[in-house]
Amino acid sequence: MLARRIIPCLDCDLGVPGGRVVKGIEFKQIRYAGIPWELAGKYYEDGADEIVFLDITASHERRDTMVAVIKKTSESVFVPLAVGGGIKSVEQARDVFNAGADKITVNTSALKRPELISEISERYGNQAVVVAIDAKRRYNPENGREVVQTPEGPCWFECSFYGGREFTGVDAIAWAKRAERLGAGEILLTSMDRDGTYDGFDIPLTDAVSKRVRIPVIASGGCASPDHMLEVFQKTNASAALAASIFHFGEWQIGDIKRYLADRGVNVRL
Amino acid sequence: MIAIVDYGMGNLFSIYNAMNRVNGSPEIVREPEALGGAKGIVVPGVGAFGKCMERLSRFEGALSKALDEGTPILGICIGLQVLFDESEENPGARGMGWIPGKVVRLPEGVMIPQMGWNGLSIKRPVGILDGIAEGDMFYFVHSYHCVPKDRSVVAATTEHGVEITAAIHKDNLFATQFHPEKSGAKGLMILKNFVRSTQC
């Protein structure tokens, strides 16, 4: 039986030489967490099942820096590496794959031009394409929306892009299903309502999406404790849980969290 | 020197780095003639069965010769599947046929591709699995799986809807459905065991 995965996420500011890992709440209160390849190496040793790098600067000039970060990381980290942020074409994806990435994640560029998903998956395989979705609750259920019951009332979920700065009007659940049809191998699902709150994952959102697609769903946004990971694995079909701050600044090591989950019946790789 | 066969199916950076880590002296090889001097050969693989075979065919003679001479060969993922006669992925495409049997699609009702870490059930204590314990987890990414006619070649299996061939061993031929180069310390251990087998 497949294990549930624990994935640390490195938000990379590539505006400084070699890059640096940062974490902030809605781009405010930015904290410096470390050097990307060093942190990746530490998380690998701690038992990370996969590592996600997101270029939060995402400008053309800085892609070379990301390529250098991935090359350096893949010399000593032997778990899958996923890379995202500003990838708009198969050519840009190729540079990242050639540096040692196993998967790329697309968000804004796929919402603007969905064929990008098919183009990359036809060349590199479905497993190499992760579609990242930033979803925001909307408590005005309209016709034609995928409505989900939550303790706070019925809502639908709207996709945002440009790192949460703009909204699209696109239904997140419908988009997840379409992304799967277009050849996505995985959905990285972030709750914008929970991201940075430390209140735990958005369970109704994760449950709804992971029931409606057959590809794996990575839950993201709001994780601050091993209990939050336990909750998302017990209450939803999420294949993986992604978090950042809990690993960068928290008291929990990945290995400790996995043992905590294993002791409570979750199938994880120890 | 351990040759990593580059037949144009994707990035070999990961397997190269992993081989380097276990002191395997890897070398990326793009021409069949260069396989002659190798102490061991790795056949990696991503992509579709038919396309892989098409591109691998020019290496077939050199690989067969190495196999006959006793050179240890390690197939990974599609590098396992191409050892069989044929695959449902591309009906009509011929495999290398070193292992009688075929490659079939994962059953309906399970996640396809199987993507993630799954535990091994060890069927035979073979050298390549030295240090690997029952239940140890490895990283799998695949939509098709191998069904050998002669089950005795199977060294380890995993479970994903059905029992799946995870590793085979026959004389100097080893192959894994999972990716040892992406499977952390346990994966490196398998590569180390392979490197050791090339030094005997």
- Sheet (strand B26-29) strand order: B26-29, B2-5, B40-43, B73-76, B173-176, B162-170, B154-160, B121-122
A134 given a catalytic annotation: yes
Hey, is the C-beta of B118 within 8 angstroms of any chain A C-beta? yes
* pLDDT at residue A28, as a whole number: 59
Please say if the pLDDT value at position A26 is more than 70: no
Q: Is residue A269 part of a domain?
A: no
Radius of gyration of chain A (CA): 17
- What do you get for the CA distance between the two ends of chain B, in Å? 14
The pLDDT-based confidence of A58 (bands split at 50, 70, 90) is low
pLDDT digits (tens, 9 = 90+) for A147-199: 999 999 999 999 998 888 889 999 999 999 999 999 999 999 999 999 888 89
pLDDT digits (tens, 9 = 90+) for A199-251: 999 999 999 999 999 999 999 999 999 999 999 999 999 999 999 989 988 77
* pLDDT at residue A207, as a whole number: 98
Percent of chain A scored above 90 by pLDDT? 74
* pLDDT at residue A57, as a whole number: 79
Q: Which residues in chain B land under pLDDT 70?
A: 10
Q: Which of B11, B137, B187 sits opposite A78 (nearest CB)?
A: B187
Inter-chain CB proximity A78 and B46 less than 8 Å: no
Look at chain A and report how many structural domains it folds into.
1
Q: Which of residues 94 through 153 in chain A touch B, CB cutoff 8 A? A: 97-100, 102, 124-127
Domains, chain B, ordered by start: 2-197 (3.40.50.880)
Q: Is residue A178 part of a domain?
A: yes
Q: Is residue A270 part of a domain?
A: no
Q: Is residue A268 part of a domain?
A: no
Hey, of B12, B16, B139, B163, which one would you mutate to test binding to chain A, going by the most A CBs within 10 A of its CB? B139
- The structure tokens listed for A179 are 């992304």
Kindly name the residue from A49, A55, A134, A207 that is annotated as catalytic.
A134
Average pLDDT, whole number, for chain A?
92
Query: Which residues of B are part of the catalytic machinery?
Result: 77, 179, 181
Q: Is residue A153 part of a domain?
A: yes
Hey, is the C-beta of A5 within 8 angstroms of any chain B C-beta? yes
Q: Is residue A87 part of a domain?
A: yes
Hey, is the C-beta of B161 within 8 angstroms of any chain A C-beta? no
The CATH code of the domain that includes A50 is: 3.20.20.70
Write down the ipTM of this complex: 0.93
Question: Structural domain of residue A216, as residue ranges?
Answer: 5-263
Extended beta strands in chain B, E state: 2-5, 26-29, 40-43, 73-76, 86-87, 101-105, 114-119, 121-122, 137-142, 144-148, 154-160, 162-170, 173-176
pLDDT digits (tens, 9 = 90+) for A138-150: 999 888 899 999 9
Say how many C-beta atoms besides its own lie within 10 A of residue B38's C-beta: 22
Please say if the pLDDT value at position A117 is more than 60: yes
Hey, is the C-beta of A36 within 8 angstroms of any chain B C-beta? no
pLDDT digits (tens, 9 = 90+) for B143-179: 999 999 999 999 999 999 999 999 999 999 999 999 9
* pLDDT at residue A219, as a whole number: 98
List the single range of A11-25, A110-124, A183-197, A215-229 with lowest mean pLDDT: A11-25
* pLDDT at residue A59, as a whole number: 61
Residue B128 is classified by DSSP as G
Count CA within 13 A, CB hemisphere, residue B37.
9
Residue B98, SS3?
Answer: coil
Residue B96 is classified by DSSP as -
Torsion of CA A72, A76, A77, A81, to 10 degrees: 30
